[in-house]
Structure formats: structure tokens, C-alpha cells
Amino acid sequence: MAEQLTIDHLGARGDGVALTPDGPVYVDRALPGEVVDVEISGNRGRLLSVAQASPQRRTQDCAWQADAAPAQCGGCVARHMAPDLYAGWKTGAVRAALQRAGVADALRPMVDARGLGRRRVTLHGRVSPGKPAAGFMAPRSHDLIAIDRCLELEPGLDRAPAVATALTRLLASFGKPLDIQLTATQAGLDVDIRGLGQKNLGKQADATRLRLVEMAEKLDLARLSLHGDVLVERRPPLIAMGKAQVVPAPGGFLQATAAGEQVLADLMLAAIGKVKRVADCFSGCGPFALRLARQAEVHAIELEAPALAALDRAFRAAQGLKRITTEKRDLFRRPLFPQEIDRFDALVLDPPRAGAEALAQQIAAAQIGKVAYVSCDPATFARDAAILTGGGFTLASVTPVDQFRYSAHTEVIGVFERPRASKAKR
């Protein structure tokens, strides 16, 4: 049965929150101040219609999220928000995380880093009922919404849905749900298929691999891999990182947009300034190390050996960079110790969503005076920021960087400074 609710504010995931005697009800695609007709199940409200619209409601421009669409794609959560409301929601989420952690925010305006769009996408491949399709999932559901294009992808990924569908069709007989990661590179599409491991292939392994290699030729892919195992590399899938050219490991981490990576790097370089030696923790394949090396020697630390190998190859082929050394190390289980940290003039880090709590504790106990911290999770960033400020750092600035446009995710870069402690005080 339909009920009418008034939306009070936006939730952390972008849904409208109505306050009712039975508790909050979360309504997808509803905005503050709106009166909406919903179908309630638990604390969720399915939007049926908008009885009184907000002036900050934006006309939908996506066929898979328009009100008339038979099924809603869960890839974006905020396409219906006007720009000012959208920016305030994202910035507010960062501010709230810092406030909860007791950290003075020093918050700067959000930087739009969409650029040409997302350069990497993971599409889900499914066969149901008997028809192969690829796309995104509906909100909070395992129901596939098949798409033939996505407005948030850069032009190099225009073919991504068609390629993912073709690969799903080829592998349909195995009956496995697939996750197909496609990356736009200078040489074309780099594709890594997950969900169909060696044990699933069985006696068909050799024949299936051959068919995939033939499909890579037909689809003109730069590289095709299966669970990170390269089946064929027809052209090196190069990604520009500063003055260097990197061939990332199959399925390896990349910043979501090229523009976002550049914005973060520029802010980092400005924060670090002129120093001699920098530690780049959670370095990945070198998006920051290869730029930092224009002005300082860099020691790159990363757990994933293929990422470090890609970084090292790119460094050796590049011109005009200062020395980059690499170290394979699990910084969660074995963080740098203060005496190691203090060999450097500055430290930068870009950890996974879990943050870098153990490393932050060691940094706080060290003498180093400059830290630049990139994070894709404001909550864990705020937790670690509290550790650093408790160790004498000042959070000089926090800049939200919006490279995950219309999603609930926000990248941030925080700059921490303090006078370098003397050994006598330690």
C-alpha cells in the first residue's frame, strides 16, 4: 500500500531520509523537502511518484535511471541532484566524518575530477534466462540491468558493454556469474575476466583459452586475461603517468579517472614541495611515485609484486626522473617503524578503503613533518587523521576530489604538517 512521506535530508548513500514515528525510512532518488508516494518495506521506501518536487531535482539524462525506466540501474545514486545540492552532500559527508573523529576539518571546496569520464569499469556478465547480457546491478539487488552504454565512461570505453556481452556469450556454457573489468588504454581495451577460474574450466581449459584468444583478436582487444593470468597481449596496454608509460598488471588498481589522478598528484606535489627523499606507501604501479620522482628520490612500498614490477619497468624506460626504489611489504601487518620513516623528508600514502591505522600510529611516533594522505573512504581517513593530529600534526587542508561522479564515493587528499621533532624531544 502506498504511503506519503516528506523527505527531511539526504543519507550517506544519497537516498532521501524521511523521519517517521517508526524510525527513518530511506527512499532512493528522493530529495530534501519533497513529498513522495512510496511503498514501504522495513526501513526502505520504493519511490512510486513525486507529489511535490524539490527545485533542486535535476531532469534525468540516463535511460536506465529515468522515472519511466522499467528497471533502475544501481550504478549512479545522484544523477537526479542539482549541482549545488550534489556538491553540498558530498562535501558534507567528508565534514561529518571528520567531526565524528574530533578532527578540525580545514575543508576546501570539492574539485570536479570527472574529466572525460571513468577509464575503468566492471560489468557483470550473466545468462538468464538463456540469453547472455552484461551491465550493472539494480540498487541493493542481484538483478542485472543490461546496458548498451554508460554516460559516465570515457569514450575509450564506448565498446565496453558490447565486449562484455560477447565474452559472456562465449563463456555461457559454464553457467558462472562473471565480473568483466575493462580499462581504456592508449592501445585499446584491457580486459580481465573474473569468476571463471582454472578449476571451473576442467578438461575444456585449453580449448576455452584458445577461443578467448580468438575472441580477443575478433574484438581487437589490447590484452585479455583470466583472473590476472594473461591469455594474450596483442599490444601493450599503456597508461600515461606523468612522463612515464605504465603497463599495469591485469586487473591492478588505477585511479578512477585520468583527471582525478592528475588532480591528486598535483595537490600532493604542491604539499610535499622541494624535498630530497619521499616514501610512497601503498604505491601501486606508480601514479604518484612516477610524478614525485620529477623532484625527489622516491622509495615505493607496495604488497602486490606485479604492481611494483610495472612501476620499476616504467621508471627504467622513462627519462628525466630521479631514482625510484621499490619494496614489497605488507604495510598492514608490518608498517614502517619510526626510525625507517625518519630517513625520509616526506611521506605520501594512498591505502585501500580500510585505511592505514597501523602506519598512522608509527608516523605519529616518528619525527617526520610532511605527510600527504589520499583516501577513498572519508571515515577511515578521519580515523587516521585523528591519530596523526594526536601525534602533533596539523591537518592543513582536506580537499574532496570527485572522480566517482554521481556515486556515494568521494576521494580526499589531506595534507598534514608539523615542525620536525628533535631527537632530544623523542
Mind listing the pLDDT tens digit for each residue in 294-305? 999 999 999 999
- CATH number where 211 lies: 2.40.50.1070
**Cα–Cα dist 143/177, whole Å:** 12
Annotated binding-site ranges: 255, 282, 302, 350
One domain for residues 166 and 183:
yes
What is the structure's pLDDT at 421?
Answer: 58
Residue 250: asked if its preceding bond is cis (omega within 30°), the reply is no
Asked if 263 and 410 sit in the same domain, the reply is yes
Same domain, 177 and 283: no
pLDDT tens digits, residue range 194-205? 998 777 787 889
pLDDT band of residue 69 (cuts 50, 70, 90) is low
d(CA 153, CA 120): 8
Question: Pick from 212, 239, 266: which residue ends a domain?
Answer: 239
Last residue of a domain, one of 239, 266, 297: 239
Weakest-pLDDT range from 127-141, 245-259, 359-373: 127-141
Grid coordinates standing for 255? 585511479
Convert the pLDDT of each residue in 367-403 to its tens digit.
999 999 999 999 999 999 999 999 999 999 999 999 9
Are 296 and 323 within one domain? yes
Question: In this model, does residue 425 exceed pLDDT 60?
Answer: no
Residues 283, 346 share a domain: yes
Domain stop point among 182, 206, 239: 239
Statement to judge: residues 234 and 278 lie in one domain? no
Contact between 100 and 382 under an 8 Å Cβ cutoff? The reply is: yes
On the question of pLDDT at 282 being above 70, the answer is yes
Residues in contact with 115: Cβ distance below 8 Å, sequence separation at least 6, in sequence order:
154, 257, 258, 259, 260, 403
* C-beta atoms surrounding 40 within 10 Å: 17
| Residue of 371, 370, 348, 359 whose CA lies nearest to 419 | 370
Residue 145 covered by a domain:
yes
288 belongs to a structural domain: yes
CATH of the domain at 281: 3.40.50.150
Residues 331 and 214 in one domain: no
- In total, how many domains does the chain have? 3
Residue 181 has pLDDT above 80, yes or no: yes
pLDDT above 70: residue 122: yes
138 and 47 both lie in a single domain: no
Under the banding of pLDDT at 50, 70 and 90, the label for residue 75 is confident
Of residues 295, 327, 313, the one with CA closest to residue 248: 313
Mean pLDDT of 7-15: 94
- Say if 83 falls within a structural domain: no
For the cut 80, the answer to whether the pLDDT of residue 8 exceeds it is yes
Q: What percent of the chain has pLDDT over 70?
A: 97
d(CA 138, CA 156): 25
- Give the pLDDT mean for 54-62: 91
Residues noted as catalytic = 376
In this structure, the answer to whether residues 413 and 312 fall within a common structural domain is yes
Instruction: Please give the backbone phi and psi of residue 34, each rounded to the nearest 5 degrees, phi first.
Output: -80, 150
Co-location of 195 and 229 in the same domain: yes
Domain identity same for 353 and 278: yes
Q: Model confidence at 100, in pLDDT bands (50, 70, 90)?
A: very high
Residue 71 lies in a domain: no
Looking at residue 67, its pLDDT comes to 62
- List pLDDT tens digits, range 223-247: 999 999 999 999 999 999 999 999 9
In a domain, 152, yes or no: yes
Mean pLDDT, residues 36-53 taken together:
93
User: Mean of the pLDDT values across residues 154-163?
Assistant: 97
Q: Do 263 and 407 have their domain in common?
A: yes
Domain contains 74? no
Q: Is the pLDDT of residue 426 over 70?
A: no
67 in a domain, yes or no?
A: no
What average pLDDT does the segment 318-343 reach?
Answer: 97
Q: What local confidence, expressed as pLDDT, does residue 71 receive? A: 57
148 — pLDDT class (breaks 50, 70, 90): very high
User: Residues marked as binding for S-adenosyl-L-methionine?
Assistant: 255, 282, 302, 350
pTM to 2 decimals? 0.93
pLDDT at 424: 38
Answer whether residue 61 shows pLDDT above 90.
no
At 105, the pLDDT band (50, 70, 90 cuts) reads: confident
The DSSP code sequence of 74-127 is: SS-S-TTB-HHHHHHHHHHHHHHHHHHTT----BPPPEE--TT-BSEEEEEEEE
CATH code for the domain in which residue 31 is found: 2.40.50.140
In this prediction, residue 304 carries a pLDDT of 96
Judge whether 78 lies within some domain: no
Q: Which domain holds residue 367?
A: 89-114+254-417
Closest CA to 47 of 110, 2, 107: 2
